Amino acid sequence: MRAATSRVPRKPQSGMGTKWLAGSLLGFPLAVALCALAVIGLPGGWQSGAVGALLACLPLWVAIISAALLFRSSRAAWFWLAVANVAAYAALWAWRLLAAGTA
C-alpha cells in the first residue's frame, strides 16, 4: 500500500491566449461599432467623421484587447465581449430605425 502523500492542487492556468483571442476577434467589431456610434451623432453625419473614426478604431481595438486580458477567465472575456457587441450593434440598429422613421 502506498503512503498517503499530500498533493498540492495545481493552479488552473489563466487562459491568457484565449482571452487575447477573444479580445482580438470580438474586439474589432466592437471597436468599429463604438466608433460608428460616436460618428453618427455628429452634425455632419458619418461622412464628416469617417476618417476620424477609422483612425480612432485601431487604438480602441488595442485597448479592448488589453482590457480582455483583465477578465478572471476566458469564458468571462468571451461572454462579456459578445454581450458588448450585441449591445453596440443593437444601438446602431435602433439608431438606423429611428433615422428611417424621421425621414
CA 64 to each of CA 44, 55, 57, 91: distance values in angstroms, whole numbers, following the listed order: 28, 15, 10, 19
- Report the predicted TM-score, pTM, of the whole model to 2 decimal places: 0.81
Single out the residue of 9, 16, 11 nearest to residue 73, CA to CA.
16
Residue-wise pLDDT for 33-79, tens only, equals 999 998 987 887 777 888 888 899 999 999 999 999 999 999 999 99
Q: How far apart are CA 103 and CA 97, in angstroms?
A: 10
Q: Grid coordinates in use for 1?
A: 500500500
Please give the angle made by the CA atoms of 94, 55 and 64, to the nearest 5 degrees.
65
Percent of the chain with pLDDT over 90: 60
Single out the residue of 95, 7, 21 nearest to residue 64, CA to CA.
21
